[in-house]
Amino acid sequence: MFYANGQKGKAGAKTNWPYPTIVEVTKLVREVSYLYTDSINYLLTNCLNPNMNIGKAFASALYKQFKVSLPEDTKAKIGSLLSAVPDEDTEVVLTLGCKGSARDYYNPDSCWWNGYARSRDVLEYNGGGALRAYNEDGTLIGRAWFLPYEDWIVVFNCYGDGNLQHAQTWASLINKAFGWYAEVVKTDDFSIAVADEDLFVNDAAGVIVGTKPYPRKKVHVRPDVNAPHIYTRPTVKCAVCGLRVSVHNITEIHSPLIHLDSNLVCNYCLNTNIDTISAGKYAGQLALSSQTIFMSDNRTYYYKDPEVYCDPFGCWCFTEEAINVNGTLYAPCVIVTDVYGGVHVRGMDTYQYCLSCGKIFPADDPHFTEGCNEN
Ligand SMILES: [Zn+2]
Ligand SMILES: [Zn+2]
């Protein structure tokens, strides 16, 4: 590869805008708008493309964000104010791997040191590393990760003070510091094809960097995710919830009633999603809670146990208590009995309540044609 561990380069970069400049620019903008310094500061640090003519870039960002158009002479004045801001001497250092703390890589809260620590294993195993930017005092002011990609490297997850949070700034910094080609690849054309838990990418755009221009438009990186555990402990995938958990948090289960991709279940799922069958022919076996039926007296059955029955309404009962109505079995809770002891299914039109005496009769009972004589 064209780079080496510890390689350094210097470049001038506009990483932060001095406050007096922001105030001067605000004054000019306020001749034609209502905007305050906060908005101008936001615009300068978030919306400027440093590769462009700075006055024009500011005017177009101002229009895009706030729909404010500037007169030509104001544009020119702002352009010369911004160009007068000297480039800060910035040192860019390339290192392989990601040994050290989150703080060593600019962002103390980085998820790569918390929930997505596996990202560091995958980055290091695939020959990737970090690009870090330092100001004249040697203070760390930004960081981006890189992965090798064919004859190039891709730079992603750009972080930093002011303009260093943009892939654009990093592209121009890398170009100036090392003399390499560095081009921003936009969201739709850039991807690192891995699951978040293998390598977490939080910036949609990337930068493709090399000693020759990249000949294509799209960049799709596929790092090998079977990296050994360099910075993390081994984890195992829970067959129920699919989350990866530490091996201490996994239980191996064996049950003829549970058919999953593996026998490994996290302790949370074991406690909340798996039950022990307590009754019927599967008593003593484990089963998924979604496939167990709770009956009276705290008896838990497997749903396929012949001792329990699910009627056409979805009501469960003991099979021996199911009631036959015209050849179909129903749970007792859906059955209505008429005054003669005949059974009917709740909601059907085979029976009728008498509004006078409140008793139940077959629908075609003479009680209704001859009139209620119960009173
Ligand atoms: Zn689980
Ligand atoms: Zn009646």
Residue 298 has a pLDDT of 86
Residue 281 counted as domain residue: yes
159 and 257 co-located in one domain: no
Tens-place pLDDT, residues 204-250:
789 999 999 999 999 999 999 999 999 998 888 999 999 888 888 99
In angstroms, the CA 310 to CA 334 distance is: 12
69 and 137 co-located in one domain: no
Ligand 1 midpoint to CA 258 (Å): 14
Residue 51 counted as domain residue: yes
What residue has token string 């000297």?
86
Of 51, 83, 115, at which residue does a domain stop? 83
| Residue 238 · residue 288 · CB < 8 Å | no
Average pLDDT over residues 97-118: 93
**Nearest-ligand number for the alpha carbon of 366:** 2
Average pLDDT over residues 95-122: 94
Residues with CB under 5 A from ligand 2 (ion): 354, 356-357, 372, 374
Ligand 2 midpoint to CA 366 (Å): 10
Ligand 1 midpoint to CA 224 (Å): 25
User: Looking at the 3D structure of the chain, how many domains does it have?
Assistant: 4
Ligand 2 midpoint to CA 356 (Å): 5
Residue 312 counted as domain residue: no
Average pLDDT over residues 292-307: 93
Average pLDDT over residues 315-329: 95
In percent, the amount of the chain with pLDDT more than 70 equals: 98
Domain containing 285: what range? Answer: 240-306
Residue 284 counted as domain residue: yes
Ligand 2 midpoint to CA 361 (Å): 8
Of 63, 83, 103, at which residue does a domain stop? 83
Q: What is the mean pLDDT of the chain?
A: 91
Q: For 255, which DSSP code?
A: -
Q: Is the dihedral of CA 82, 86, 88, 89 positive or negative?
A: positive
Average pLDDT over residues 268-290: 95
Ligand 2 midpoint to CA 178 (Å): 99
139 and 208 co-located in one domain: yes
Ligand 1 midpoint to CA 299 (Å): 25
Instruction: Give the CATH number of the domain where residue 131 resides.
Output: 3.40.630
Ligand 1 midpoint to CA 2 (Å): 44
Ligand 1 midpoint to CA 251 (Å): 10
Residue 106 counted as domain residue: yes
Residue 218 has a pLDDT of 95
258 and 349 co-located in one domain: no
Average pLDDT over residues 197-205: 85
Please determine, for residue 163, whether its predicted confidence score (pLDDT) is greater than 60: yes
In angstroms, the CA 153 to CA 7 distance is: 14
Please determine, for residue 51, whether its predicted confidence score (pLDDT) is greater than 70: no
Residue 374 has a pLDDT of 66
| Other beta carbons less than 10 A from residue 135's beta carbon | 17
Residue 50 has a pLDDT of 56
128 and 164 co-located in one domain: yes
Residue 70 counted as domain residue: yes
**Nearest-ligand number for the alpha carbon of 273:** 1
297 and 352 co-located in one domain: no
For 199-229, give the DSSP string.
-----S-EEEEESS---SS-EEE--------
209 and 249 co-located in one domain: no
**Nearest-ligand number for the alpha carbon of 253:** 1
pLDDT tier for residue 56 given thresholds of 50, 70 and 90: confident
**Nearest-ligand number for the alpha carbon of 235:** 1
- C-alpha dist (Å) from residue 86 to 15, 19, 181, 340: 10, 13, 24, 101
Of 43, 66, 83, at which residue does a domain stop? 83
Phi-psi region of 160 (alpha: psi -120 to 50; beta: other; left: phi over 0): left
Average pLDDT over residues 182-194: 90
Q: Which residues of 55-76 are buried (b: 16+ CB within 10 A; e: fewer)?
A: bebbbbbbeeebebebeeebbe
Long-range contacts of 337-346 (CB under 8 A, 24+ apart): 338/362, 338/365
Exposed (0-12), middle (13-18) or buried (19+): which is 293, by Cβ within 10 Å? buried
Q: At what angle do helices 19-30 and 72-83 cross, to 10 degrees?
A: 180
Average pLDDT over residues 323-339: 95
pLDDT tier for residue 352 given thresholds of 50, 70 and 90: very high
Residue 270 counted as domain residue: yes
Please determine, for residue 149, whether its predicted confidence score (pLDDT) is greater than 60: yes
pTM higher than 0.85 for the full model?
no
165 and 123 co-located in one domain: yes
Ligand 1 midpoint to CA 231 (Å): 23
Q: Is the dihedral of CA 28, 84, 161, 157 positive or negative?
A: positive
107 and 193 co-located in one domain: yes
199 and 185 co-located in one domain: yes
Ligand 1 midpoint to CA 250 (Å): 8
Residue 49 has a pLDDT of 60
197 and 279 co-located in one domain: no
Residue 316 counted as domain residue: no
160 and 77 co-located in one domain: no
> In the chain, what's the furthest Cα-to-Cα distance?
107
